[in-house]
Structure 1
Amino acid sequence: MRDQPNILFVMMDQWPAKVMRAAGHPTILTPTLDQLARLGTRFSRAYSECPICIPARRTVMTGTTPRSHGDRQFQPSLGMPDFPTVAQCFRDGGYQAFGVGKMHVHPQRDRMGFDDIWLAEEGRPQLGAIDDYDMYLADQGHAGAQFLHGMNNNDYLFRPWHLDERLHVTNWITRESARMIKRRDPGKPAFWHVSYTHPHPPLVPLEAYMNMYELDRVDLPLHADWAAGELPPALSATRRYWPTEFKNHELQAIRRAYYALCTHIDHQLRVLIGTLREEQVLDNTVILICSDHGDMLGDFGLWAKRVFYEASAQVPMLVVGASGSNSVQANHVDNRLVGLQDVMPTLLSLAGLPIPSTVDGISMFGDTRRNILFGECRENVLATRMAHDGRFKLIWYPAGNHLQLFDLETDPTELVNLAGKDEFTQVQSKLERALMDHAWGIDNEWIIDGRLAGFSPPDAARNGDRHFGGQRGVHYPPPPLDDPARAVGSPG
């Protein structure tokens, strides 16, 4: 067992693949991720099959698609499916398995096969659990003060962090993760899962990291002609929910705060790597870094996730092998189609452990490659589906039966919609057939006579958001228990 590699699996929340200097981003500072990319393999076509927190994390933890694990909506009261989890598989294989950070499952203290979890759940005590980070703040004399900055988890207001640097959740997750590494049983290999809550809003970075970015040098969101015309209801609902009247300097300020959260995490990763090195286990540790989904950050006048444009659905995916391993190439970019369902089988295969038959994903380092990656999100007027063949991406909005086709080889920023153009009829037909082949549940009602038909959307509701995006308040004493099925902070 001692010859098996340790596994450090790091996941960030709401970090797009393109927000990394190694991926060509003009502004972001990510020296740690960039060095890890040089040491290992970066997958340039990695996607979240359902770019919303809970469904994406169910996919990661079980190696299954939303169809298998049962959620493409965001169902906060849905228990984990009865499948082997990645943590349980490692424990069954003789590993110790520990997690720190955001897990986003119900009930919150479900350990999902881990020996133990130190939890940071973005201030959700009303769902039945005071998490470990909130308890830490209380121990430090700041009970219930996590959200006294006034920002919220589903909006793009921003300001510097209001408490001491050591109290920031990014520092807490790093510190507890480093201690987790130090507390390991030296006679057994370890599977460590570190799950950062940022750069998901609230946008409350340390001021020192905001100061690293000059406002006038921050890049601006993308614009496209197709985004200036009539939009599918799923997109117009997003624009109604989040303001789009920001001036350029405001857009740059939002992005600066977001990038500051990213660079903070990037630097904290060095603490984890340094701990592994000083504990003399770094050389025998596989490192995988990804996110659950991305963030539109104003591209095309859109915010947050739930759509299949690159900023929302494409995720960073970096894998560094153990020293001397021939399984993972160094300084390599792999353009095969990868999904979050592939994380579990990849890590198990690198550890030499069996992959359960329930797993839908495939190892990122095997000879098997997929021809089509299917994506699915929501089942109402916000529903959207994706079929991706590695070059061409077809996006379908069933409400209004709207199609978009992008050639990511010639148009990586998705500025030109090719749907309906004669010269792309063949590839569009192929991807439409893939959408129909993957249809299940309500999707079958939106396919008529072997063709995508969609449905007529209801009149758009224009009521304001009286819940202010799920605004948090003072959390001491804790707020009363709430229905865990109640979802807030989204267009619908």
Structure 2
Amino acid sequence: MSDSRPNVLFICVDQWPADLLGCAGHPVIETPTLDRLAELGTRYTRCYAETPICIPSRRSIMTGASSRLHGDREFQPSLPMPKDLPTLPQCFKDNGYQTAMTGKLHVYPTRDRIGFEEAWLAEEGRGQIDGPDDYEIYLADSGCVGQQFLHGMSNNEYEWRPWHLPEHTHVTSWTTTTAARMIKRRDPTRPGFWYVSYTAPHPPLVPLASYLERYRDRDMPVPTGSEWSRDTENLPYVLRAVQEYWRDLAPVQHANMLRAFYALCTHIDHQIRVLIGTLREEGLLDNTIICFTGDHGDMLGDHGFYAKRLMYEGSARVPFMLIDKRDGGRVTPGATDDRLMGLQDIMPSLLELAGLPMPEGGDGRSAVNGERRHTFYGEASAGVRATRMIRDERYKLIWYPAGNHFQLFDLQEDPLEEVDRIDDPDHVDIVERLKGSLLEHLYGEDLEWIRDGQLVGTEAPAHQPHHNRGLSGQRGLHYPEPPRTDPSKPVGSW
């Protein structure tokens, strides 16, 4: 006898900014599938990665908990998932669901299932930590053993070129095919929770040539600039280091980089259609809840910055959509919701839609009800690299403890964060109010940066260039396998 409870298809992308959607008003990007899904469900326009870094974000997604609770606000590749927090897949599994994932899980140990009954992994070439993942094994079986990175592009830089192997071997295509097979070989007596985690558009920027071609003749947006970001000498310690770490791209090169990035996005968008088609043909689509989100964004050259870790909108704000089962009635079709939300809210949202209880321990809030936050807190990194953020419905305050540097942005009037209003006398009360709210969220070593109830920070180190000798974690020939490495050592950041 089949189980009539709804299935869940949870799609996650990597490093996809929230505004890179046609339905969000982007003038160039092609996302027809996601645009249609937005018409069928609700798009949450103010969802943030509290810690916009891969591993912390994925811990928040999988535990329904903020970084303070799950234990990582930096990037700790050898930190196991906390044992005191039930995971999203474990909650579904404990309630009789079959749970399976394909793509990027990014946990340690690499083969820790964290509640998934099946896991088919593509971990971006981290085989030297725990051995080859399933995608690397697939490439070997396809006659391309060790050739994943022979395109020469780095996993953390913004050079680009077309994919160098047969089209069906691209990791986006493999992820989709593997996920579709999981759906087709499901247990028909139990509902399914299927997590499909694409590694793109995270670099390396190696789209299929056919997707790159469709953007060839289109004008690309120019990067956002600002007086504050051009004043290099007075930038906070962290920002100056980040700005210098990645190579500044000339206008033509920047435009071509965007074309490659957008091509990766559109490839994913079209592959999602395959998943939806599989659900439809299997007779499952009408009884399936769909969720789409990303782990963090990418600055893509705005203000001279690239990648993540920053609290600006391009880096910290993520796409988030919920589509209820047909006639479910709990998610408004074609709506946008501007509540302040975070990745920790995904777990309680999906559990509520599936009619399952949220376990104790997390601090996420369900998007299905109307509860609103008055503020949202964000944090990234520690020590002199730390960044902290608090925002309300209109204003965002960013604090760099090294040097005790603050920024204030009016996101209603200045959504691109071009004007820093921290020294504007008309905003003194707003700054003090947000500083007070920020104080309430600090913990751990941050408390050492407070004196007499005031944020005083710490002394900033003298500026020195960070030599990127390793090309941001460039990978090479992977056959024979690279030597095993220390899993606690991050790769690819300054």
- TM-score calculated relative to the size of structure 2: 0.98
Paired position in structure 1 for 2:473:
470
Partner residue of 1:415 out of 413, 418, 423: 418
The reply on whether 1:172 has 2:174 as its aligned counterpart is: yes
Paired position in structure 1 for 2:438:
435
8 Å Cα contact 1:161-1:204 kept in structure 2: yes
8 Å Cα contact 1:215-1:256 kept in structure 2: no
The reply on whether 1:364 has 2:370 as its aligned counterpart is: no
Deviation digits for residues 312-340 of structure 1 (CA, Å, limit 9, x no counterpart): 00000011110001100000000001100
Mapped to 1, the partners of 2:466 and 2:318 lie a distance apart of: 33
Paired position in structure 1 for 2:454:
451
Question: Please, which runs of 5 or more residues in structure 1 have no aligned partner?
Answer: none
Partner residue of 2:241 out of 237, 240, 245: 237
Aligned residue-pair number: 490
8 Å Cα contact 2:312-2:417 kept in structure 1: yes
Q: Quickly say closer, same or farther: Cα 1:463–1:420, change in 2 above 3 A.
A: closer
Q: Quickly say closer, same or farther: Cα 1:216–1:3, change in 2 above 3 A.
A: closer
8 Å Cα contact 1:405-1:419 kept in structure 2: yes
- Larger CA deviation: 101-110 vs 414-423: 414-423
Paired position in structure 1 for 2:196:
194
- 1:250-399 map, 5 Å: 250-399=253-402
Deviation digits for residues 85-122 of structure 1 (CA, Å, limit 9, x no counterpart): 00000011111100000011110000011101000000
Paired position in structure 1 for 2:118:
116
Deviation at 1:24, TM superposition (A): 0.9
Paired position in structure 2 for 1:47:
48
After TM superposition, which residue ranges in structure 1, 4 or more long, deviate above 2 angstroms?
none
Q: SS of the counterpart of 2:109?
A: coil
8 Å Cα contact 1:377-1:384 kept in structure 2: yes
Mapped to 2, the partners of 1:488 and 1:142 lie a distance apart of: 24
Mapped to 1, the partners of 2:32 and 2:186 lie a distance apart of: 28
Paired position in structure 2 for 1:65:
66
Paired position in structure 1 for 2:24:
23
Mapped to 2, the partners of 1:460 and 1:226 lie a distance apart of: 18
- Larger CA deviation: 410-419 vs 48-57: 410-419
Letter of the 2:354 counterpart: A
Deviation digits for residues 16-59 of structure 1 (CA, Å, limit 9, x no counterpart): 00111111111111111111111100001000000000000001
- Larger CA deviation: 142-151 vs 444-453: 444-453
Identical amino acids, percent of aligned pairs: 54
Mapped to 2, the partners of 1:170 and 1:465 lie a distance apart of: 28
Paired position in structure 1 for 2:137:
135
The reply on whether 1:13 has 2:14 as its aligned counterpart is: yes
Mapped to 2, the partners of 1:325 and 1:484 lie a distance apart of: 44
Deviation at 1:177, TM superposition (A): 0.4
Deviation at 1:442, TM superposition (A): 1.0
Mapped to 2, the partners of 1:121 and 1:3 lie a distance apart of: 34
Letter of the 1:16 counterpart: P
Deviation at 1:360, TM superposition (A): 0.7
Question: Please, which runs of 5 or more residues in structure 2 have no aligned partner?
Answer: none
Q: SS of the counterpart of 2:11?
A: strand
RMSD across aligned positions (CA): 1.0
8 Å Cα contact 1:216-1:249 kept in structure 2: no
Deviation at 1:463, TM superposition (A): 4.2
Deviation digits for residues 353-400 of structure 1 (CA, Å, limit 9, x no counterpart): 010111110101113221111100000222111101122111111111
